[in-house]
């Protein structure tokens, strides 16, 4: 698998169902999951066998510029010592922000399982997630 932005996320950004700099965007460690272009919600990931093993707080200082989305680096507290974790980026709140909504309404944005430090092999404890400092940032469209 390669890193990817979900096609339904691109549609969501274009139609206003995902707002990267207003809604709460989070990252989670996920294991036991095979990426699918058909997935739209976090519940799709867990129904497909993915297990979330810790979720970050809402990403801080979100910025959208030149087709790229970026935010400050973050951390996730892993709750289990298990192997082969990818990183799932998702909108945890309603498009207008606020509290987290049910996983059946949390929209998946991107999935990463390839790159420096990936797959993640956490023990229990804190895992640092450092986003790309080049032109792609967290992700770039176009």
The tens digit of pLDDT for each residue in 117-140 reads 777 777 778 888 999 999 999 999
pLDDT tens figures, 53-95? 999 999 999 999 999 999 999 999 888 777 888 999 999 999 9
> Residues 98, 69, 107, CA angle at the centre, nearest 5°?
45
pLDDT level of residue 49 (50, 70, 90 thresholds) = very high
Q: For residue 126, give Cα distances in angstroms to 76, 114, 117, 129.
A: 6, 20, 14, 10
Q: How far apart are CA 81 and CA 79, in angstroms?
A: 7
Neighbours of 118 (CB within 10 A): 14
pTM of the model: 0.94
Q: pLDDT at position 1, please?
A: 62
Can you tell me which residue has the tokens 């996920």? Answer: 30
């Amino acid at each position: 698998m390669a890193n990817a932005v979900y096609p339904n996320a691109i549609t969501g950004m274009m139609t206003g169902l995902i707002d990267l700099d207003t809604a709460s965007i989070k990252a989670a460690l996920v294991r036991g999951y095979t990426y699918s272009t058909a997935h739209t919600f976090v519940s799709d990931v867990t129904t497909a066998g993915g297990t979330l093993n810790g979720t970050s707080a809402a990403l801080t200082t979100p910025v959208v510029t030149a087709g790229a989305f970026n935010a400050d680096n973050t951390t996730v507290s892993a709750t289990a010592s298990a192997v082969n974790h990818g990183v799932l980026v998702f909108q945890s709140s309603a498009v207008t922000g606020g509290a987290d909504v049910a996983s059946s309404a949390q929209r998946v944005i991107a999935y990463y399982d390839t790159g420096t430090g990936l797959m993640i092999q956490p023990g229990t404890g804190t895992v640092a997630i450092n986003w790309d400092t080049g032109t792609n940032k967290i992700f770039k469209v176009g």
